[in-house]
């Protein structure tokens, strides 16, 4: 098993990629601390892990509060004796983000409030900083460890209506590069994944919405790769598990010499496109 005898914290572990990763990491031998702001969701993930024969505990914490993150790490070390992996996965979209998907209202950039900014900044970037800071002392005790953050394709390409979110995720990428230099001497690797597809509808749904254990593409109905905007054409839609498997790679010894990297996952060539659409055959008379 890839994570045998490892101890992992997964923030935002109550739903979506965090829940899927908790189950996958546990199936690979890790003992998992599921951290989430929603106690019912965290407990639900722990139940799923235990039903599959794994070991997990639930911890309620708001990652935008440093003291709560430090307490979550302390509880994990108290319960399992060490910490090998910090997966700083918790994230929120900025208010009014992707309204056509979320069914919410459109909010102009200039109408976003200071509270809106502090909220998305606190969870998406400060939360990763606090998670890394809290993890480092325990990892030094181990002689090393892995910090993984969830960034986003929105840190690499523009998306409508989520400039604040994009800014925080771009900050994650910069943080990962900087920490890979600062922490490498302690045997600590630092990376991020940047999902493009295969993410949970819960991310855009109101708090308290039942957890959907599938990706946007899976819940959209019958899969037709011919009409998918993803350049790579496969006979199934991208899933949460596709992203979780990339996370597993980056926290396991399979990536022992990978650090300072933001890996676009479930991209399928989407980020390779230019900003304009062209006809496939630009010059029909050329015969090319």
3-state helix, strand, coil in the chain (%, to 5): 45, 15, 40
Of 159, 165, 216, 257, which is the active-site residue? 165
Does 165 participate in catalysis according to the annotation?
A: yes
Please report which residue ranges of 52-126 form alpha helices under DSSP H.
66-80, 99-102, 114-121
**Pairing mode, if any, of strands 145-150 and 7-11?**
unpaired
**96: pLDDT confidence band, cut at 50, 70 and 90?**
confident
Is residue 104 over pLDDT 80? no
**95: pLDDT confidence band, cut at 50, 70 and 90?**
confident
Which stretches of the chain are assigned E, i.e. beta strand? 7-11, 31-36, 55-60, 85-88, 145-150, 188-195, 262-265
Is residue 219 over pLDDT 70? yes
Give the pLDDT of residue 279: 56
> What is the value of pTM for the model shown?
0.94
């Amino acid at each position: 098993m890839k994570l045998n005898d490892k101890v992992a914290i997964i923030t935002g572990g109550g739903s979506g990629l965090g829940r899927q990763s908790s189950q996958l990491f546990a199936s690979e031998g890790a003992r998992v601390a599921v951290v989430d702001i929603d106690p019912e969701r965290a407990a639900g993930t722990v139940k799923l892990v235990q039903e599959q024969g794994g070991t997990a505990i639930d911890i309620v914490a708001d990652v935008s509060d440093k003291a709560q993150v430090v307490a979550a790490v302390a509880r994990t070390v108290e319960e399992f004796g060490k910490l090998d992996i910090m997966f700083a996965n918790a994230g929120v979209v900025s208010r009014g983000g992707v309204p056509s998907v979320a069914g919410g209202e459109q909010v102009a950039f200039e109408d976003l409030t200071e509270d809106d900014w502090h909220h998305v900044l606190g969870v998406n970037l400060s939360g990763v900083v606090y998670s890394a800071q809290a993890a480092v002392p325990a990892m030094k005790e181990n002689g090393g460890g892995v910090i993984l953050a969830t960034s986003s394709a929105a840190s690499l390409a523009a998306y409508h209506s989520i400039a604040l979110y994009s800014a925080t995720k771009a900050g994650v990428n910069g943080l990962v590069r900087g920490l890979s230099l600062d922490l490498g001497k302690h045997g600590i690797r630092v990376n991020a994944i940047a999902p493009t597809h295969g993410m949970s509808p819960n991310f855009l749904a109101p708090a308290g919405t039942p957890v959907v254990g599938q990706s946007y593409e899976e819940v959209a109905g019958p899969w037709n790769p011919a009409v998918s905007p993803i350049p790579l054409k496969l006979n199934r839609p991208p899933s949460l598990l596709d992203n979780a498997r990339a996370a597993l790679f980056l926290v396991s010894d399979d990536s022992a010499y990978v650090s300072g990297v933001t890996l676009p996952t479930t991209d399928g060539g989407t980020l390779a496109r230019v900003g304009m659409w062209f006809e496939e055959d630009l010059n029909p008379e050329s015969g090319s």
